[in-house]
């Protein structure tokens, strides 16, 4: 884990389609100063309103993670947020000219490549983290999210689907730049054909296609190129988890364990997390390393 905050070295941009609106979206990411965090600006609206990517700005989790304030929203932020968190980018300003982020190929890989192309620079400000001291658990209707003390950032994700191609899958990893890029960022969002057909009938998923999602029928994957990983489904769920938990605003030193969870349950857990303040502490990284016997200059 890095000792100092990081941002991108230069502005970068891309365009793509919104998965539900079907509209072309232009996106620009700019460097930001220390302690800025990740913020989104709607450049298509009067006065270009701004919103921080924080859990207390989440207004909808039914189909994606949506943040909003004072009547405007930015939808489907989880893949870009996963790229920021996976690459340890703490500060950035995101400009978007529509209410929905571009879906790109349905994964975080295009955003990850974009950030890498811009370059990542260290800033003159210490990085702060949540250090988990006692377990926190939320369980309901067979779903659960827990977080446990652990010396680094780790996630274990389990999914269960009554489908022969998915069934029960578990993936566990310590979240590092390298592992995120190699194992997680290219895992695509997925859906079942009958669900997508329903969404299109009710005016959603207008931009959805085999170019930006894995589509599963009764016994096969409809994408001609198949899966990128045998367990791409659970890897994408872990990607979503990284993006959703980044809305805490600080990195985590702890082990997250999820079972059959999703955006809505992640958000419910984040609310519980902040209600149990005795279970965690905040540290700047050098002081945490000193207290726990690490070399404070070794990051």
Between CA 38 and CA 174 the distance in angstroms is 22
Which residue bears the tokens 């703490």? 90
| DSSP conformational letter for 189 | P
Q: In what order do the strands lie in the sheet with 12-17?
A: 12-17, 24-31, 92-96, 38-42, 50-52
251-259/153-161 β-pairing: parallel
**Opening angle at CA 183, ends 216 and 153, nearest 5:** 115
Beta-carbon count within 10 A of 72 CB: 15
CA distances to 73, 123, 205 from 76, rounded to whole Å, are 10, 28, 12
The verdict on whether 263 is a catalytic residue reads yes
Radius of gyration of the chain (CA): 19
Catalytic residue among 20, 99, 255, 263: 263
Between CA 36 and CA 260 the distance in angstroms is 33
Residues tagged active-site: 263
């Amino acid at each position: 884990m890095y000792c100092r905050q990081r941002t991108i070295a230069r502005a970068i941009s891309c365009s793509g389609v919104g998965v539900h609106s079907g509209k072309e979206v232009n996106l620009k990411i700019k460097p930001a100063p220390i302690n800025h965090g990740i913020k989104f600006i709607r450049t298509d609206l009067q006065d270009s309103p701004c919103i921080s990517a924080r859990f207390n700005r989440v207004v909808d989790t039914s189909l994606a993670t949506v943040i909003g304030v004072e009547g405007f929203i930015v939808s489907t932020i989880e893949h870009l947020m996963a790229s920021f968190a996976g690459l340890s980018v703490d500060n950035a300003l995101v400009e978007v000219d529509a209410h929905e982020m571009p879906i790109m190929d349905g994964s975080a890989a295009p955003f990850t490549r974009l950030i890498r192309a811009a370059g990542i620079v260290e800033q003159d400000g210490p990085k702060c983290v949540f250090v988990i001291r006692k377990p926190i658990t939320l369980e309901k209707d067979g779903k659960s999210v827990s977080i446990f003390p652990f010396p680094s950032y780790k996630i274990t994700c389990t999914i269960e689907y009554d489908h022969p191609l998915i069934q029960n899958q578990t993936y566990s990893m310590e979240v590092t730049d390298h592992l995120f890029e190699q194992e997680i960022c290219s895992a695509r969002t997925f859906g079942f054909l009958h669900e997508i057909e329903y969404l299109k009938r009710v005016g959603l998923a207008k931009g959805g296609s085999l170019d930006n999602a894995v589509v599963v029928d009764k016994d096969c994957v409809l994408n001609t190129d198949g899966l990128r990983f045998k367990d791409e489904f659970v890897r994408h769920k872990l990607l979503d988890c990284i993006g959703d938990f980044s809305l805490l605003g600080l990195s985590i030193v702890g082990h997250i364990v999820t079972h059959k969870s999703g955006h809505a349950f992640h958000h419910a857990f984040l609310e519980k997390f902040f209600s149990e303040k005795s279970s965690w502490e905040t540290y700047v990284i050098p002081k945490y390393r000193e207290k726990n016997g690490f070399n404070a200059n070794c990051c």
